[in-house]
Amino acid sequence: MKRVGFLTSGGDCQGLNATMRGVAKTLFQQYPDMEIYGILEGYKGLIYGNYRLLKSRDFSGILTEGGTIIGTSRTPFKYMREPDENGLDKVEAMKSNYKKWGLDCLVILGGNGTHKTANLLREEGCNVVTLPKTIDNDIWGTDMTFGFQSAVDIATTAIDCIHTTAASHGRVFIVEVMGHKVGWLTLHAGIAGGADIILIPEIPYDINVVVDALDKRAKEGKNFSILAVAEGAISKEDAALSKKELKSKRKKNPFPSISYQIGQEIQEKTGQEVRITVPGHTQRGGEPCPYDRVISSRLGAAAARMIIEGKYGYMAGLRNGEVVPVPLEEVAGKLKMVDPEADIIQEVKGLGISFGV
């Protein structure tokens, strides 16, 4: 009998349930009497031994369901080697539960931090197969992560809805899109939503260039402008600071987020009325879009095939339209950033969209 543990870790997103369904349905075809341990609330469940057995029926009707049926939590990788408040060795506890439950494999769905811990467990002797989950699309080794396109759709809808009110009132609107370290989501939603200015972490902006772009639009008789701003957007001045200096400066910053700071600077420099919209966690919620349902099903089925073949220590990734196994040691600890010189950036600049540089 096969025993497989399912674990979802980090922030939730669309497609988690669809992907687990893809794994489970494929495995049950091969092993009708197999046992699936749904490890509750991410790595926390693996550390403290919390799980529930999942049956084939638990995976029916969840293709379109957002969130995760087994819960999730954030357990930062940097603290994994530190004992908990009661002195428990987290890594040893995870290995102990893996062995106690008699698992043949752990199926781990998550983002960058999740993959670091998954690789740690691989190094510690556990059989692991992973799946790339994040709305940020920043996991190394895969062209696309599930959850990304659904989040793009939601962020784009937010920008679409802003167009009419921005035009009616002749205002500058800033739509703040999720993405602390990378700008894929903001870039794609900004293009799809027809934003006039897109600011992402990989391209530090000059506020004067942003203002010039707004002035240019005003002189052309365009009475409104829309900025798609990543929550991790950063000015050239701040990008030049050391990590310690930047942390100190941000502690003193009175603004709730970068968009409010940019908004005030624009208002002071141009006199134009500025409004901020933050879609926030709506970008991670709701049902997965059809595209995500397809790649979730494909990635899940591919992960199941790896388990059937005993091919452990890999992530199921999507490259050039094909699902391929990617070694975990290549994935862990790497971010897939937007290249400022990439074709997509040059093409978008050709459309007249400003990146604030």
pTM for this structure?
0.95
Whole-angstrom distance, CA of residue 327 vs CA of residue 209: 42
With beta carbons less than 8 A apart as the criterion, state whether 95 and 118 touch. no
Residue 1 has pLDDT above 80, yes or no: no
Average pLDDT, rounded, for the chain: 96
Whole-angstrom distance, CA of residue 249 vs CA of residue 261: 13
Mean pLDDT of 121-132: 98
In sequence order, what are the residues at sequence separation of 6 or more whose Cβ sits closer than 8 angstroms to the Cβ of residue 111?
Answer: 10, 11, 132, 133, 134, 136, 138, 139, 145
Catalytic site positions: 136
C-alpha angle 231/234/236, rounded to 5°? 170
Which of 24-28, 126-130, 138-142, 271-275 shows the lowest per-residue confidence on average (mean pLDDT)? 271-275
The full DSSP string for 1-14 is: --EEEEEE-SS--T
User: Which SS3 state, helix, strand or coil, does residue 320 take?
Assistant: coil
Which domains, and CATH codes, for the chain? Answer: 3-147+288-331 (3.40.50.450), 150-284 (3.40.50.460)
With beta carbons less than 8 A apart as the criterion, state whether 130 and 9 touch. no
β 314-319/128-132 pair status:
parallel
- Identity of the residue numbered 100: K
What is the predicted pLDDT for the residue at 60? Answer: 96
Residue 327: how many CB atoms within 10 A of its CB? 13
Q: What are phi and psi of 197, to 5 degrees?
A: -135, 135
pLDDT above 90: percentage of residues in the chain: 93
Whole-angstrom distance, CA of residue 1 vs CA of residue 32: 9
Q: What is the pLDDT of residues 232-258, one digit of tens each?
A: 999 999 999 998 888 888 888 899 999
Whole-angstrom distance, CA of residue 137 vs CA of residue 162: 25
Residue with more model confidence, 156 or 252: 156
Which two three-digit tokens encode residue 226? 């829309």
Q: What angle do the packed helices 184-192 and 148-169 form, to 10 degrees?
A: 50
Q: What is the pLDDT of residues 197-242, one digit of tens each?
A: 999 999 999 999 999 999 999 999 998 999 999 999 999 999 999 9
What is the predicted pLDDT for the residue at 283? Answer: 96
